[in-house]
Amino acid sequence: MSSVLGTYARKNISFSKGKGCYLYDLNGEKYLDFVSGIAVNSLGHCHEHLVKIIQEQSQKLWHVSNAFIIPEQEKLAKRLTDYTFADFVCFQNSGTEATEVSIKIARKYFYAIGQPNKKRIITFKGAFHGRTIATLFAANNPKHIEGFDPKVDGFDQVPFADHKSLKEAVTDETAGIMVETIQGEGGIKEVPDYCLKGLRELCDEKNLLLILDEVQCGIGRTGDFFAFEKSGIIPDIVPIAKGIGGGFPLGACLLTKKVSIGMTPGTHGSTFGGNPLAMAVGNGVLDIILQDGFLDNVKKISEYFDQKLISLKKKYSKIILEVRGRGLLKGLKLAVDNTKFIETLMKYKMLVVKAEEQVIRLFPALIVSKKEIDEAISKIDKTCKEMS
Ligand SMILES: Cc1ncc(COP(=O)(O)O)c(C=O)c1O
């Protein structure tokens, strides 16, 4: 019996090494990995640049307290703020901490400007914002909150992308709206651009803050650094994690100067958040992702992937109902049981992960090649054939 607490229904397989888009199990069997640690291994497994960086940094300094200035942290924050809408970055270790601090920042902002009654956050049904008690009740997924009462108050929920309900849900106590630009766990559901624009307008009109959770869909996954960029809007607060660490635990919250005013010394903290080792890796990830042409290439390869997936959908219209998502954040909504599909795909040595609504998520590393996409398509084809 495992001594690990059974909070996951783990598959009976373990891996001993990884390289690029491949994982190798304990028997040396090679698997095409389109899970990427659920959109974490943005540069694939053991990317040379990250290996070098972690080796170098591990010989210099791993951890110092946030009581001191950490140059690697200053560097990563400067790069993130130079490149994005944000003026400040608050470093954490995970996505859930990044969304949790986003909620704190929104509430503290209104407190600091003398409107402490504005403290409630509106979210979308189907959301996932993490596993702390607050973020669980923010997302309000019945499966996740069961047994964790008392309910954390302060969140109101409306149906996905439903503006009428959204407008009606806004009260004098509303501080902000927090949504994933593309819902991940919820089934790769994209908030359309017109809706994102509508959210921004509503926030401006009603004096609310817009929090876009890009933990899963950000950091180049869609071919843009942030998934919201295409819509042209600018959010107030953006939690990130996953891809920015490339496999090293790293989360962060990006925010504007305006909303930062309440966050004075002592209002938030993290022992590990932003330590030199994590920051070195984060900087290493940006070295690659921000290289000229890197994101263009993600877009190009994802167009190829799209075409191939759409062809498969045509070929197996009774199995694949929809191709969802953008860039290399792809979902297939299936007419068959997604767990069964994933098991069958594993026989063909390919790994994917499921989501709500009978969706399977396809998250290749951002460095995936055409050849690897072709291999994936061939394995999905065989799986569809077998399940037809
Ligand atoms: C959109 C979103 N927000 C937050 C989280 C929580 O991140 P973590 O598991 O790193 O705490 C996730 C994780 O899947 C996520 O997809």
* Cα distances (angstroms) measured from residue 183 to each of 90, 199, 213, 224, 261: 23, 16, 9, 16, 29
Q: What pLDDT, on the 0 to 100 scale, is given for residue 110?
A: 98
The answer to whether residue 309 is domain-embedded is yes
**Atom 3, ligand 1: residue with shortest CA distance:** 129
The pair of structure tokens assigned to 349 is: 């040595």
* Cα distances (angstroms) measured from residue 86 to each of 197, 204, 230: 18, 18, 17
Q: Which residues contact 8 (CB under 8 A, 6 or more apart)?
A: none
- Say if residue 106 is in the same domain as residue 237: yes
* Distance from residue 317's CA to the centre of ligand 1 (Å): 31
Measured CA to CA, the distance from residue 349 to residue 32 in angstroms comes to 6
Single out the residue of 280, 268, 327 nearest to residue 79, CA to CA: 280
- Say if residue 258 is in the same domain as residue 157: yes
H or E segment and range at residue 259:
helix 257-260
pLDDT in tens, 138-176: 999 999 999 999 999 999 999 999 999 999 999 999 999
Q: What pLDDT, on the 0 to 100 scale, is given for residue 235?
A: 98
- For residue 359, the domain's CATH number is 3.90.1150.10
Q: What pLDDT, on the 0 to 100 scale, is given for residue 273?
A: 98
**Atom 16, ligand 1: residue with shortest CA distance:** 216
Q: What pLDDT, on the 0 to 100 scale, is given for residue 270?
A: 97
pLDDT in tens, 360-369: 999 999 999 9
Q: Which of 128, 178, 221 to mutate to test the pocket of ligand 1 (most atoms within 8 A of CB)?
A: 128
pTM as predicted: 0.98
- Say if residue 67 is in the same domain as residue 82: yes
- Say if residue 37 is in the same domain as residue 162: no
The pair of structure tokens assigned to 267 is: 């209002």
- Say if residue 195 is in the same domain as residue 259: yes
Single out the residue of 270, 278, 225 nearest to residue 250, CA to CA: 278
Burial of 347 (0-12, 13-18, 19+ CB in 10 A): exposed
- Say if residue 316 is in the same domain as residue 220: no
Measured CA to CA, the distance from residue 218 to residue 216 in angstroms comes to 6
Domain that residue 354 falls in: 15-47+293-387
**Percentage with pLDDT > 90 across the chain:** 100
Q: Which residues contact 297 (CB under 8 A, 6 or more apart)?
A: none
Q: What pLDDT, on the 0 to 100 scale, is given for residue 239?
A: 99
The answer to whether residue 1 is domain-embedded is no
Q: In the predicted model, what is the mean pLDDT of residues 262-285? A: 98
- Say if residue 97 is in the same domain as residue 54: yes
Per-residue pLDDT band at 77 (split at 50, 70, 90) = very high
Structural domain ending residue among the three candidates 289, 313, 344 = 289
- Say if residue 115 is in the same domain as residue 216: yes
* Cα distances (angstroms) measured from residue 298 to each of 42, 241, 291, 292, 329: 11, 19, 12, 12, 11
Measured CA to CA, the distance from residue 211 to residue 352 in angstroms comes to 29
- Say if residue 276 is in the same domain as residue 265: yes
Q: What pLDDT, on the 0 to 100 scale, is given for residue 184?
A: 98
pLDDT in tens, 277-321: 999 999 999 999 999 999 999 999 999 999 999 999 999 999 999
Q: What pLDDT, on the 0 to 100 scale, is given for residue 129?
A: 98
At residue 70's C-alpha, the angle toward residues 67 and 73, to 5°, is: 120
- For residue 175, the domain's CATH number is 3.40.640.10
Q: Which atom of ligand 1 is nearest to the CA of 96?
A: 11
- Say if residue 187 is in the same domain as residue 92: yes
* Distance from residue 342's CA to the centre of ligand 1 (Å): 21
Report the chain's mean pLDDT, rounded to a whole number.
98
The answer to whether residue 4 is domain-embedded is no
Q: In the predicted model, what is the mean pLDDT of residues 62-68? A: 98
The answer to whether residue 2 is domain-embedded is no
The set of protein residues with a Cβ atom below 6 angstroms from ligand 1 is: 38, 94-96, 99, 128-130, 180, 184-185, 213, 215-216, 241
The total number of structural domains that make up the chain? 2
Q: In the predicted model, what is the mean pLDDT of residues 206-231? A: 98
Single out the residue of 241, 246, 216 nearest to residue 53, CA to CA: 246
Q: What are phi and psi of 10, to 5 degrees?
A: -75, 145
pLDDT in tens, 2-56: 999 999 999 999 999 999 999 999 999 999 999 999 999 999 999 999 999 999 9
Structural domain ending residue among the three candidates 289, 320, 344 = 289
pLDDT in tens, 183-212: 999 999 999 999 999 999 999 999 999 999
The pair of structure tokens assigned to 67 is: 């009581």
Q: What pLDDT, on the 0 to 100 scale, is given for residue 340?
A: 98
- Say if residue 303 is in the same domain as residue 263: no
Q: What pLDDT, on the 0 to 100 scale, is given for residue 254?
A: 98
- Say if residue 266 is in the same domain as residue 329: no
